[in-house]
Amino acid sequence: MPITFIDVERQKSLRIVLLLFLLVAFYFIFAFIVAQAVVLFMFRADSFFVFGSLKYAAIIAVFVLTLAVVHFSISGYTAVQRVIEQVRAGDPDPEDGIHRQLVNIIEEIHVASGNVRKIRCMVIPTLSMNALAVTDLRGEAVIAITEGLLSRLSRDQLEAVVAHEAYHILSGDCLETSIAASLFGIYASAVEGLKGVSEEDFRAVPFLFLFWVLSTLGSLVTMFISREREYRADAGAVRMTRNPLALAEALHRISARWSGTGFISDGLEMLCISSPTIDAHDESEGWLDDLLSTHPPVRKRIAVLLGMAHVSASVLDSQDRSRTAVQMPGSPASSVYGGSAQEPVVVCPSCRGQLTRESSESTVVFRCRSCMGLLVDNDKIPRILARKQVTCTDRLLALVRAVTADNQRSLAIRQKRLKEKKNEETILCPKCNRVMFRTFYSYAYLIEIDRCSVCHVTWFDTDELEMLQCLIENKIAGTIGIASDVQDV
Amino acid sequence: MIVVWISAGLVFLLSVLGICIYNRLVTLRNDVRNAWSQIDVQLKRRYDLIPNLVAAVRGYMAHEKQVLENVVAARALTLSATKVKERAAAEDGLSLELKGLFAVMEAYPDLKANQNIMLLQEELVSTENRIAFARQLYNDLVANYRTRLEVFPDIVIASVFSFRAAEYFAAGSDDTQLPKAVLSSSA
């Protein structure tokens, strides 16, 4: 490892050439299939093999090579621009205090790295928490941070994250991932877009197929993007900022909250500081996981960093209390990396974040840290309800009144119209992926919840469990006359 | 005849090696000098920023005259230092005083409401960081350079052309730690 960044030579990475070869191979196979199909079906030549003729083979090879080189150079030279457009990143606002802080931090990193390379910073206007670095063959380099991350990290932590991304750029490994993302990753969202179009317009189908193949290849590319580089970037960040604790805290926050799917599109995860999609491979180890994942387990990264800082992991948990954590003293909520690795990943049905184990009234439940929804086994609900002494705030009370009144009304309507099928949005069970059915907790307590009849679990949206408890404790009944109300409708 | 050729070849090889080493040493020395000038740029920046902050804060902090005076005095002291060690000690002193000022500022909620002062403070915090980083880089490069000067073939060239070891920018105490702002744990 070089002593300073002035020593870091810009290495021409072998992997970039590999990417080009992969692309050429892909186009070659694609062209071969097309040519063979054309020959077989158009000219009705029964057993004609295209590459049997040297002339055809040469034409295809030349054609494919030009196409691949053009595609590669376009992707390579416009990677920054394309990724920025895709995540809708913008320049920091000079009027904004926090954005100005980000600009200052980038300047500091320039100083720390010896001004070897100019890096621009940008802001991604989403609430999710993530950061990405992208660079291209033109030499432009950008670090983009989401608004969510900007506002939820302290200055030191933000500095550590920026240093981590800057190391990716300075050490040169960002170039290969950027080109890979630009070549293949970008098409993942194009596939989603075209799926809708192709249902109406059949002309979109070939494009859909091509894009689908490209994005699938993209996920193959993740195979040779090594997880090691994340460890290296963490180490590099620590060398720049000399503050391993701040980076550990930042990673912990990013992993404990919502790292954000849907906003940072699929196919760009290799550019991000922590993987935005929840994937079982990311959080476990083994050769297969190493192959299929772009990021090492956050748990392990944090452990390494804490080792550098000589701090134990419990410090982080005590520092970072979640917003409404209902914790028993002495039984701290185990967070993402604290839990056992073998546990299956459970994903929040409404916002796709990872659910974390939490103990509520001495019982284990799963909470989503971003929308505060709660997943509870059915047989545990009475326990929680019986044990928990919830403080009914005015806000909660008002909410309960409004919701029960509203639900009473809709129940009355439903009964009158004899179970007319409502076109409601349904959510999928986090455990078995089947549709959950939306129902009332009971007809006495009109709080709507989602139940899975297979796994016997219940999903409470934000505040629903609290409302239910409030309702039971205060014995609030609906105050609207049913009969009169229905007539209005 | 052959002996002459061989010795000529040896001399040629040795001189090529010597030139390479010499060039590398010059590069390293220039890197060190450049890093030093970077520290200077940041120190100058801090020097210029401090009067603005002191002037802006003075009105709010009538009872904390001593803290402000300490900062001003420490700032003046940095100019008088000539040697690297003295300079480092003076700058460390200024950092320490600034740390004290920031800590005191925490106790004045009025200051937090003043956009202008928050801006100045952020600029100063950033400058403190830059100084620390520039210093870190400088010291890394000095360490690198010093090692080169003491390693075998290089030491010959270095002594012939009288390359001198650069001094570390350090006064003994470490001040890379910035004042830790106490942040509410969730946003």
- Residues A357 and A274 placed together within one structural domain of the fold: no
Say how many domains are in chain A.
2
- Residues A97 and A218 placed together within one structural domain of the fold: yes
Average pLDDT over residues B118-131: 88
Q: Judge whether B144 is closer than 8 Å to chain A, CB to CB.
A: yes
Tokens at residue B128, please?
A: 């403190």
Q: Quote the minimal CA–CA distance from A157 to chain B in Å.
A: 11
Residue of A114, A156, A159 with shortest CB distance to B137: A114
- Residues A277 and A356 placed together within one structural domain of the fold: no
- Note the pLDDT of residue A2: 44
Is residue B164 over pLDDT 80?
Answer: yes
Cβ contact B137–A151 (<8 Å)? no
End position of a domain, from candidates A274, A292, A310: A292
Distance CA A444, CA B38 (A): 72
Q: Judge whether A112 is closer than 8 Å to chain B, CB to CB.
A: yes
- Note the pLDDT of residue B154: 85
Task: Give the side-chain half-sphere CA count within 13 A for A373.
Answer: 23
Distance CA A14, CA A176 (A): 9
End position of a domain, from candidates A265, A292, A319: A292
Is residue A405 over pLDDT 50?
Answer: yes
Kindly tell me the number of DSSP H helices and DSSP E strands found in chain B. Answer: 6, 0
- Residues A101 and A234 placed together within one structural domain of the fold: yes
- Residues A245 and A352 placed together within one structural domain of the fold: no
Q: Quote the minimal CA–CA distance from A257 to chain B in Å.
A: 11
The residue with greater pLDDT, B11 or A64, is B11
Nearest to A182 by CA among A26, A16, A63, A28: A16
Domain for residue A8, yes or no? no
ipTM of this complex prediction, to 2 decimal places: 0.80
**Could you tell me the CA-to-CA distances from B89 to B36, B79, B109, B173 in Å, in that order?**
16, 12, 32, 9
Give residue-wise pLDDT tens across range A147-186: 888 888 888 999 999 999 999 888 878 888 888 888 776 6
- Residues A240 and A124 placed together within one structural domain of the fold: yes
Distance CA A195, CA B38 (A): 54
- Note the pLDDT of residue A406: 80
Task: Give the side-chain half-sphere CA count within 13 A for A217.
Answer: 24
- Residues A221 and A74 placed together within one structural domain of the fold: yes
Is residue A486 over pLDDT 60?
Answer: no
Give residue-wise pLDDT tens across range A200-211: 666 667 777 777
Give residue A233's domain range: 14-292
The residue with greater pLDDT, A6 or A457, is A457
Which of A402-406, B52-56, B107-111 holds the top average pLDDT?
A: B52-56
Average pLDDT over residues A337-354: 57
Nearest to A339 by CA among A367, A380, A377: A367
Q: Judge whether B114 is closer than 8 Å to chain A, CB to CB.
A: no
Is residue B175 over pLDDT 70?
Answer: no
Residues of A belonging to the active site:
165
- Note the pLDDT of residue A230: 84
- Note the pLDDT of residue A321: 45
Q: How confident is the model at residue A268 (pLDDT cuts 50, 70, 90)?
A: confident
Is residue A249 over pLDDT 90?
Answer: no
- Note the pLDDT of residue A229: 81
Nearest to A470 by CA among A398, A362, A363, A381: A398
3-state helix, strand, coil in chain B (%, to 5): 80, 0, 20
Tokens at residue A158, please?
A: 């933000």
- Residues A280 and A425 placed together within one structural domain of the fold: no
Give residue-wise pLDDT tens across range A148-157: 888 888 889 9
Give residue-wise pLDDT tens across range A24-47: 887 888 777 877 777 777 766 666
Q: Judge whether B176 is closer than 8 Å to chain A, CB to CB.
A: yes
Percent over 70 (pLDDT), chain A: 66
Is residue A63 over pLDDT 70?
Answer: yes
Tokens at residue A488, please?
A: 């209005």
- Note the pLDDT of residue A280: 53
Averaged confidence pLDDT in chain A: 73
Could you write out the DSSP letters of every residue in A212-242?
HHHHHHHHHHGGGS-THHHHHHHHHHHHHH-
**Residue A123 three-state SS:** strand
According to DSSP, residue A266 is labeled T
Sheet holding A141-146: strands in order across?
A120-124, A141-146, A131-135
Nearest to B61 by CA among B122, B8, B25, B111: B111
Domain for residue A318, yes or no? no
- Note the pLDDT of residue A411: 75
Q: Quote the minimal CA–CA distance from B62 to chain A in Å.
A: 27
- Note the pLDDT of residue A113: 86
